[in-house]
Structure 1
């Protein structure tokens, strides 16, 4: 991830186009920094063209001593790096990956930082323009982004340069780059600088313009002399010189960034009220973690090093997927551009009785996706909790309409059926759909009945379904996860019969009790998240659904109850499946989707509903309408980002990473998704995980572990505890060592390659339960390394 040193100021130099003077400015800045008494480093990661014309050699020639200039990769053809490697016949298999390439740059910067303790400057010069392709064809703006180095943009002083400079600036801004300065030449004819100085002043970016270098005459000695004189004139340390001012502003920007990071913890304690945090238990600023940036699966956090040569920024793995929102990694450029695309086209527009393409496309996609074969409408809201409030309103109206006439009193006494440990959000209506617990508040009024469900977990490498005391408290054991989740096959089992009798008897007794008219079934399918990452036996949920839908005369209720699936957490492939409906073998009447929906970029929720539920509100009377909404309903930015997220997920479903993981979880072919004998690809298993089944099985055998489970991106460890529950501190204290930066390969200096660099892990716990969650596109090597670290922590805790 990003590097930031107190004593070494590093700036990356991008160009608005090719041939705009990047190397001239890099040379002049290096000389000016040297003249100001700083040690100077220069790096050209990729050089193309004749070796004698290489930029790092020019730096050495004109800066002479005092500037350490280097290049990492050289190619002789004077073209784009991407084209140079092809023209020279370099095999793609021998080229460094983008990760390796960026790692090499990071390692070089670290080495330079370690060679000096005095105030130093470093300049990293890119090739061509902002989007010129790197060795593998990736845009430079995207390839270099993990480094997150503050940037100097060299503007274009030629015809069309105003446009190319602004375009380059906006491309970098869209990717989050910090642009500390824009440099360009003065052109006496086009005068681009006269336009760009005030233009960027309005954006708080300083533009420095200098006279261009003298034209070359063809006389090598003369050109060498006049060029040296040119550098001496513009790189003067005189306070009024342009480059002296530029150096000063770059130094100030560097110092300000560090100062802000240092002050953020104490300032935050004075002005922020964090959710789910007991402020009285915070001992001081040292407990607050400033996040400087984020990229892919990692935060870049401020953590001052012990030595002056250490970076004050450290990578930290986002082990909770930022409260379950991340789908395709932080700062994904496709999502950023989707947001910008919609913001530029629409901003926000009023939604009732209007339509815009992002919302229409999203509604159609979700109705045809997770709503396949049952949903007809999509209702937009702003987050999962309000999406569930909408779902409950829909369900209760549906029940009321189909139950005949209702007095006002009976409408107010409607309740729901759910499961103990459920959680549907922190708004009042969502809280009322849960029993009393740690998440509820003084005004909470639990309305309904909640079953204590049987749960699924892996114990001693066996898939075990543990029954609550009401069902006998015994266990049912399966050899493979696939068997436990084969609901259709288990429907005729003895356990299914026991579930039916228990559920029907319980609901019949409740129906006789008129404290609440039970009017809807609300479920978190398969996994109840905030309640403790409880994996519920899917057979129990299926039979519960079937029971509330029994025909009149057989049902405990006068009419069929509407069923709500809260898929805010589990939906859209979080558990390896688009929706839980196919696994359960039945569909809801209403479902709610959020979190993964927008890839973790911004809030949006969709409540899908059947046509029957929609018709319960459909009349000519305005009072019958669903009178619920917020000002930003179906905001185009969120809708467009959601559409792009779903498109990326569609690609991931066919990725090698997913297919390899699915193959590992196939019982008959534990390690191979591809059938090499028949040359065919087997269908993916019903349930699978990006986490390794061998790791999951071995961890389940540990004495300190009660059970483990993994589905899709989710891995959960439940520790044996005498004080089990949300308020327990066991999981937090056990896994605390993960918050310290460590590496499984301490000899590697790489700063961004997961598994090689020292990095810490950010994670969340629920009492004696620790959960870890990946993005949908987290690389296998990242997960394998995290598995090693989890294993190491639990192994160490035994000694």
Structure 2
């Protein structure tokens, strides 16, 4: 019996309608940019397994650091103890995060990093005797699947059955370079008529919305307005963080820095799950009190797991290395060249890129989340490239270690499949 057949007996996969899509491909090996299935077929992982394995699968440097840690300390509860890996990771993060960040709180995944940020914002004001119940978020944003993170998300395909249970969110358009005056007017009305705790946003790139890129100056104006009106700002860098936009963080493109930052995915190079919510000293200080109830009583059993911390330390070492920084620039230049070539294709409506992120929208009337998406996915896989379209958007987010030949195959595969549509 194949792995695929055994899988169907007991496993419920995420983001999948099993009635119409019952099969899941069995992957048994991964190295660098290559995934190998149970039949020996190879696929270039052109989306870094949901933007996690940015330094390549089974990276030897990360494996080495994790192996060392496994022999020293595997797990210890983090409420009463600390350990060298957590302390070193905090120091390495503070060296690359925006300078206004001062404290880090450990979580398990991107959703819980955002969930923690939302709870921090609510309790920040609660501790000050100012109870606030409203948040601001972008239209079509995505921040995760736990209830607070889901509330901030604006994609109804994820939230539909739960709308009646979500926290109060006011949505604003993303800045496009021409509309920030109107957005600021909308923000003013929201702030004047609601007790707003925070603005939650994906900086510069909305991932699940189709890798939509928005205007940095307009976003800066929004953040400035919020902070000047005593509204906290929460940057969800789960997808954008750790080099994907060409800088360490998307927030590095923006003059006004967020009060809180959410991190996960590439934090550990895809080796193990881990997430972090960082914040300013001012936010942390609001939880200091002789009143125990003003402490932040939010906890994950595997908070600051030493093995995860070791993987994250190794990932930051790689990220800040000259080799990886050169690779990021190399991939970014290649995306620009490919964009110039493919934008004139008859099936292409628009293209965009930033750092190692590239996206194109198809000019087609085919059903966005049905026939077209399935056709594209299967066509790419037949060519040995794993690309997972977001509706009529094809996007690339390759590992930094991809070779020029592998990257060229990704490009030529996209072009070949478009020619077959």
Q: TM-score, normalised by structure 1?
A: 0.50
What number of residue pairs does the alignment pair up?
419
1:729 to partner: Cα distance: 3.5
Mapped to 1, the partners of 2:378 and 2:155 lie a distance apart of: 30
8 Å contact kept, 1:319–1:763? yes
Q: Secondary structure at the residue paired with 2:79?
A: coil
Structure 1 pair 633/723, CA: closer, same or farther in 2 (3 Å)?
Answer: same
Other-structure match for 1:335? 62
8 Å contact kept, 1:735–1:793? no
Other-structure match for 1:730? 372
Mapped to 1, the partners of 2:397 and 2:31 lie a distance apart of: 16
Other-structure match for 1:696? 339
Unaligned runs of 5+ in 1: 1-261, 304-312, 456-464, 466-494, 551-558, 662-688, 742-759
Other-structure match for 1:452? 173
| 2:180 is equivalent to residue 499 of structure 1 | yes
Structure 1 pair 427/340, CA: closer, same or farther in 2 (3 Å)?
Answer: same
Structure 1 pair 598/720, CA: closer, same or farther in 2 (3 Å)?
Answer: same
Larger radius of gyration: 1
Q: Output aligned runs, 1:423-434, within 5 Å.
A: 423-434=142-153
Question: Which string of whole-angstrom CA distances, capped at 9 and with x for unpartnered residues, describes residues 310-356 of structure 1?
Answer: xxx11111122111111111111222222221111011012124221
Q: Output aligned runs, 1:618-629, within 5 Å.
A: 618-629=288-299
Mapped to 1, the partners of 2:155 and 2:60 lie a distance apart of: 42
Other-structure match for 2:76? 349
Other-structure match for 2:381? 739
**401, 409, 412: which one aligns with 1:788:** 412
Other-structure match for 2:287? 617
Mapped to 2, the partners of 1:658 and 1:580 lie a distance apart of: 14
1:436 to partner: Cα distance: 5.9
Question: Which string of whole-angstrom CA distances, capped at 9 and with x for unpartnered residues, describes residues 141-197 of structure 1?
Answer: xxxxxxxxxxxxxxxxxxxxxxxxxxxxxxxxxxxxxxxxxxxxxxxxxxxxxxxxx
Unaligned runs of 5+ in 2: none
1:360 to partner: Cα distance: 0.3
1:510 to partner: Cα distance: 2.2
Q: TM-score, normalised by structure 2?
A: 0.93
Structure 1 pair 592/450, CA: closer, same or farther in 2 (3 Å)?
Answer: same
Mapped to 2, the partners of 1:359 and 1:728 lie a distance apart of: 44
| 2:282 is equivalent to residue 591 of structure 1 | no
| 2:290 is equivalent to residue 563 of structure 1 | no
| 2:6 is equivalent to residue 280 of structure 1 | no
Structure 1 pair 342/584, CA: closer, same or farther in 2 (3 Å)?
Answer: same
| 2:156 is equivalent to residue 443 of structure 1 | no
Other-structure match for 1:714? 357
Mapped to 2, the partners of 1:380 and 1:391 lie a distance apart of: 11
8 Å contact kept, 1:732–1:770? no
Other-structure match for 1:645? 315
1:521 to partner: Cα distance: 0.9
Q: Secondary structure at the residue paired with 1:630?
A: coil
| 2:96 is equivalent to residue 361 of structure 1 | no
Q: Secondary structure at the residue paired with 1:618?
A: coil
Structure 1 window deviating more from structure 2 (265-274 vs 337-346): it is 337-346
**390, 398, 405: which one aligns with 1:774:** 398
Q: Secondary structure at the residue paired with 1:607?
A: strand
1:690 to partner: Cα distance: 5.3
Other-structure match for 2:134? 415
Mapped to 1, the partners of 2:97 and 2:201 lie a distance apart of: 16
1:544 to partner: Cα distance: 0.8
Structure 1 pair 289/654, CA: closer, same or farther in 2 (3 Å)?
Answer: closer
Question: Which string of whole-angstrom CA distances, capped at 9 and with x for unpartnered residues, describes residues 7-55 of structure 1?
Answer: xxxxxxxxxxxxxxxxxxxxxxxxxxxxxxxxxxxxxxxxxxxxxxxxx
Mapped to 2, the partners of 1:319 and 1:634 lie a distance apart of: 30
Q: Secondary structure at the residue paired with 1:627?
A: coil
Q: Output aligned runs, 1:258-337, within 5 Å.
A: 262-282=1-21, 287-303=23-39, 313-337=40-64
8 Å contact kept, 1:709–1:717? yes
Mapped to 2, the partners of 1:269 and 1:767 lie a distance apart of: 25
Structure 1 pair 400/416, CA: closer, same or farther in 2 (3 Å)?
Answer: same
Q: Secondary structure at the residue paired with 1:549?
A: helix
1:593 to partner: Cα distance: 0.9
Mapped to 2, the partners of 1:277 and 1:564 lie a distance apart of: 30
| 2:316 is equivalent to residue 636 of structure 1 | no
Structure 1 pair 513/658, CA: closer, same or farther in 2 (3 Å)?
Answer: closer
Structure 1 window deviating more from structure 2 (532-541 vs 652-661): it is 652-661
| 2:213 is equivalent to residue 535 of structure 1 | yes
Other-structure match for 1:765? 389
1:792 to partner: Cα distance: 2.0
Structure 1 pair 654/438, CA: closer, same or farther in 2 (3 Å)?
Answer: closer
1:652 to partner: Cα distance: 4.5
Structure 1 pair 792/436, CA: closer, same or farther in 2 (3 Å)?
Answer: closer
Q: Considering only aligned residues, what root-mean-square deviation do their CA atoms show, in Å? A: 2.1
Other-structure match for 2:113? 387
Question: Which string of whole-angstrom CA distances, capped at 9 and with x for unpartnered residues, describes residues 199-243 of structure 1?
Answer: xxxxxxxxxxxxxxxxxxxxxxxxxxxxxxxxxxxxxxxxxxxxx
Structure 1 pair 399/699, CA: closer, same or farther in 2 (3 Å)?
Answer: farther
8 Å contact kept, 2:140–2:155? no
Q: Secondary structure at the residue paired with 2:315?
A: helix
1:291 to partner: Cα distance: 1.2
| 2:186 is equivalent to residue 510 of structure 1 | no
Mapped to 1, the partners of 2:370 and 2:172 lie a distance apart of: 23
Mapped to 2, the partners of 1:723 and 1:523 lie a distance apart of: 30
